[in-house]
Amino acid sequence: MDNLLGEFMGTLILVVFGCGVCANLTLSCSKGSGGGWICISSGWALAVLFGVFTSIALGAPQADINPAVTFAKTLAGVYTGVQAVATMAAQMLGGIVGAALVWLIYLPHWAITESQPAKLGIFSTAPAIRNLGANLLCEVILTFLLVFLIWATFNKANGPLAPGYGPYMVAMLIWALGVSLGGPTGYAMNPARDLGPRIAHAILPIAGKGGSDWGYAWVPVVGPMLGAVLAYVVASAVHMI
């Protein structure tokens, strides 16, 4: 499958820039320490932009870099089951390796940063108010909006997009979701973005780290996958796909 390298590298770039902006704003003595949510949401939008460009350049024209998006496209007939599983595996591995690179880039900063939850928050999401039912609902809705609006953006009714224009629109969507709706859970919307770096957090020798919060880890995996199913059902019902 020619797309696997693209999905691996695209997700790697996504996580390097996404988890990287979290590290820059969180770790002690980082020059970006103390930046606000607008920096986080902007950083993740740019992470998606360059992740998508990388994925396409390396032979993955779908450039999902997100198992939830891949799952929705599988329901729509874009992938076979085997192709979907292989694509999701490549995305997950990209997330793990990308997170490991962030750890290396900020290597001296982990030991001087005291907060264990802050260190974990660089790698994975956590809710502002811990209520698993509400947190799950939030991730379902946000991922529904992500996938549904991707289909809306690329719908033929909006006309053919100029080459290279589509990734910018997806990045703007990520930015909009972050600044408007990212507050409750940190808007994971992507199992590879959350579970991959969480695994990296668990296995890397990060100085002074705590636990990886596996009790919450299922929410940013199950929620996005359910949101993807909902987006497929609604988009099919309104003949968007």
- Alpha-carbon dihedral 134, 136, 141, 142, rounded to 10 degrees: 110
Residue 228, SS3 per DSSP: helix
Q: 190 and 67 in contact (C-beta within 8 Å)?
A: yes
Q: Quote the tokens at residue 96.
A: 């793990």
Of 140, 230, 132, which Cα lies nearest the Cα of 189? 140
Measured in whole angstroms, how far is the alpha carbon of residue 231 from the centre of its chain? 17
- Residue 239 sits at φ, ψ, to 5 deg, of 60, 40
66: left (phi over 0), alpha (psi -120 to 50) or beta: beta
Type of residue at 215:
G
Class of domain 3-237: mainly alpha
Please give the Cα distance from 186 to 188 (Å, whole number): 6
Type of residue at 52:
V
- Residue 28 sits at φ, ψ, to 5 deg, of -60, 140
CB within 8 Å of 159: residues ≥ 6 apart: none
- Residue 160 sits at φ, ψ, to 5 deg, of -65, 135
Collect the ranges in the chain with pLDDT lower than 50.
none
pLDDT at position 111, please? 98
Please give the Cα distance from 134 to 47 (Å, whole number): 27
pLDDT at position 1, please? 62
- Alpha-carbon dihedral 100, 55, 232, 238, rounded to 10 degrees: 140
Q: For the whole model, what pTM was predicted? A: 0.97
Please give the Cα distance from 235 to 241 (Å, whole number): 6
Q: Give domain limits for the chain.
A: 3-237
Of 7, 44, 17, 22, which Cα lies nearest the Cα of 170? 44
Of 18, 102, 99, 103, which Cα lies nearest the Cα of 52? 18
DSSP code string of 97-132: HHHHHHHHHTGGGTTT---HHHHHHHHS---SS--H
